[in-house]
Chain A
Amino acid sequence: AQSVTQLDSHVSVSEGTPVLLRCNYSSSYSPSLFWYVQHPNKGLQLLLKYTSAATLVKGINGFEAEFKKSETSFHLTKPSAHMSDAAEYFCVVNPNQAGTALIFGKGTTLSVSS
């Protein structure tokens, strides 16, 4: 079965400090992996995606993630947090089978303090 586990339900950082949101995945196939962000009362927005090309993926707003097959991980990082980064972040797997939709983790709430 395909699944993702987000290891932290809540992460708090200070503005200007690094962000690390952790995600482990389980997939029987070569998966596609994504990070989505959801700001309050707004729709889900794709931050970045891994689809078997480069293992280090750069996304929008300075975020990046590294696919590590040996560790089955796809952690999201950003060197310097901004107040506007406060939101809910979802690690997502697409098992890469025909007709299969996205499988979401439970989410990590990122809080940024000044």
Chain B
Amino acid sequence: EAGVAQSPRYKIIEKRQSVAFWCNPISGHATLYWYQQILGQGPKLLIQFQNNGVVDDSQLPKDRFSAERLKGVDSTLKIQPAKLEDSAVYLCASSSRSGTGGYNEQFFGPGTRLTVL
């Protein structure tokens, strides 16, 4: 079974530039998550999708971050414009479902390491 795919693996940009990250979840997984992991910290949820709808985006800085999952499969996370403090690893994860009735394991991609200069 193929895992969660992310691209690019690394990205270096200047502050105020734009950047986009792509994620392809495990086939059939309805729930997709984007996490931000700043160096020395644990991952923090940015946004959660259930199929193509947003379940939780309470911690997404909406003035500069946006995400979409138009067909309920692939997802794109965009930052525009980037700030120095956005330097982090952006992780995508997927699971077969979310909500009550039991936990479904989240499978993580390798991440995209963003450096903002």
Bound together: yes
Q: Are the C-beta atoms of A44 and B43 separated by less than 8 Å?
A: yes
Q: Whole-angstrom distance between the alpha carbons of A101 and B45 in the complex?
A: 7
Q: Whole-angstrom distance between the alpha carbons of A104 and B43 in the complex?
A: 6
B45: A residues at CB distance < 8 A? 101-103
Q: Whole-angstrom distance between the alpha carbons of A90 and B3 in the complex?
A: 20
Q: Are the C-beta atoms of B42 and A99 separated by less than 8 Å?
A: no
Size bin of chain A's contact surface:
20 to 34
Nearest first, the 9 closest Cβ-Cβ pairs linking A and B are A104-B42, A98-B99, A44-B108, A99-B55, A101-B45, A43-B108, A43-B110, A32-B103, A104-B43
**Beta-carbon contacts under 8 Å, B31-52 to A:** 33, 40-45, 48, 50
Give min CB distance, B31 to chain A, whole Å: 9
Chain B, residues 20-38, CB within 8 Å of chain A (1/0): the string is 0000000000000100000
A107: B residues at CB distance < 8 A? 40-42
A43: B residues at CB distance < 8 A? 3-4, 91, 108-111
